[in-house]
Amino acid sequence: MKKIIFIFVVLLTFFTSCELDNYDAPNAKIFGKIIDSETGEAIQQEILEGSRIDYVELGDFENPPTQQMRFKTDGSYRNDLMFSGKYHIQARRGNFFILPPDTIQVKGETEYNIVTEPYIRIKNVSYTIEGRDIVASFQLEQVADYPVKSIALFADVNPNVSQSLRKLANVAEINRRVNPEEQFVLKMKIDPFMDIIPEGKPSFYFRVGALISEMPEAKYNYSEPESIEIDYASLPPVEPEIPGNVIDNCESLDGWNSGGFQLSLDTDAKEGNFSLKADGQGVVIYQKVFEPFDTQVDKETGTLALSLFILDTGPIKAGDSSIEITSSGGPDVGELAWKFGEDFEINNGWNKLELKLKDGHAGGDIDLSAVNFIRIYHTAISAPVVFKIDNIRFY
């Protein structure tokens, strides 16, 4: 008898549970995009750890839970498992200006677009293969009134490439406001791609990102992903690295001074992430005092090497000018110097300078085990000029 009662109780519980769980199925859908109010284009997103949409179903519910949807890479979203009814909805934790929560009615198939502005617009993106580098050029339009924290180039085999989904990345911290006319350049060496797909003509997806500072929970703003085929067989042979003792890699402004030129870091670099840019007009273009640096070379066989960029050589006239190094902590004493146009030629664009120490003009005896000063100057610059230097070293 006890067994019969127990079976009856179990069956009663089972049927009661089935009756309680017999809810209606979802009967509505919602879809849309997050749209830039100025351009009308979707604001590009990332699918992992990216922006989200919070929504709460309104009605006869006690403490209804906040549910979430995620944007796709192209800025669209879709949820086919909604219930008809009224909702509070808000896009949050994103790369855009957050709007107040909205109240919407969802019924059938409902389109709901979120119209706002991104923190940063990434514009005029182009990719080229130069030598054994992928080179991304782009401009930024800063919308948020805060410095741009970082710019980045991301790469992956997945078309949803982003900061949170990438095989390779080049991230440069800039921490400054930007000019919409400024041209940014980021590079990636191709050789690491061969560790991912070792042969043939593989295609990888690339994407430029920029991150605003001082905005809580801000995410990267992005360009659209772009596929690039890399034909390994067509790449030039690997050039052996020039050995050298680097006195300054031009990755920081620390210690550098100028006279009449505005100094800044520039992403158009020959090595690393940055070069040192001088923009303006004056005599002293670059100057820095170092802690004594042992070049580990001698005067007869040693070389001072650096990369020097000049946007336009036209305003640079004949005059007193030099690249000089000393061990006296200042100019002209314990010096070696090389003159513009006499000891080395300059052209528009990047110039690869290899200055033989034995050819330098001496101003006293220099101690090559304790070089502590470098200066680049020119007394006959007739108009504003843009210079850049990078990778200063001895070998």
pLDDT tens readout for residues 348-381: 888 999 999 999 999 999 999 999 999 999 999 9
The band of 34, judged by pLDDT with boundaries at 50, 70 and 90, is very high
Give the lowest-confidence range in 124-128, 238-242, 351-355, 362-366: 238-242
User: What length does the chain have?
Assistant: 395
Q: Contact at 8 Å (CB) between 286 and 256?
A: yes
pLDDT in the model for residue 183: 92
* CATH code for the structural domain at 245-394: 2.60.120.260
CA distance 210 to 169: 13
Q: What is the pLDDT of the chain when averaged over all its residues? A: 91
CA–CA gap between residue 382 and residue 378 (Å, rounded): 10
Weakest-pLDDT range from 90-99, 266-275, 319-328, 332-341: 266-275
pLDDT in tens, 137-196: 999 999 999 999 999 999 999 999 999 999 999 888 888 999 999 999 998 989 999 999
Q: CATH 2.60.120.260 spans which residues of the chain?
A: 245-394
119: left (phi over 0), alpha (psi -120 to 50) or beta: alpha
Task: Reply yes or no on whether the pLDDT at 92 is more than 60.
Answer: yes
Give CATH 2.60.40.1120 domain extents, the chain: 28-116
42: left (phi over 0), alpha (psi -120 to 50) or beta: beta
The enclosing H or E element of 9 equals helix 2-20
Q: What is the mean pLDDT of residues 281-293?
A: 97
Task: State the span(s) of the chain assigned CATH 2.60.40.2060.
Answer: 120-234
Phi, psi at 244, each rounded to 5°: -175, 160
- At 311, is the secondary structure helix, strand, or coil? coil
Domain 28-116, CATH: 2.60.40.1120
pLDDT band at 14 (very low <50, low <70, confident <90, very high): very low
Q: What's the topology of domain 120-234? A: Immunoglobulin-like (2.60.40)
Amino acid at 291: E
Beta-strand ranges (E) seen in 159-260 are 168-176, 184-189, 203-212, 221-222, 226-229, 245-248, 256-257
At 305, list the tokens. Answer: 């090497």
